[in-house]
Amino acid sequence: MRESGSESGVMTKISVPSNGKIIIDHANEGTIIEIGKMKHVFHEGKRNIIAKLDKNGNLVF
């Protein structure tokens, strides 16, 4: 995905199953990613995100 959320901080949720991966070039503030049951909220913009669950079920970037 190239960009998620908006500069105004509108909440945007992206979710995939626990064996999935989320790739975002630019996540704006207010983006919520959910992989399986693990969730992360971006409180500020971040670039070049590759998020997945590790072998212990923790969300890693």
Angle at 40 between CA 58 and CA 31, to 5 degrees: 150
Q: Give the pLDDT score at 45.
A: 93
Beta carbons within 8 Å of 51's beta carbon, 6+ residues apart = 21, 22, 23, 24, 33, 35, 40, 59, 60, 61
The tokens describing 19, both together, are: 């064996």
Q: Give the pLDDT score at 30.
A: 94
Q: Give the pLDDT score at 7.
A: 80
Mean pLDDT, each 10-residue run in order, the chain (61 residues): 85 97 96 97 96 97 91
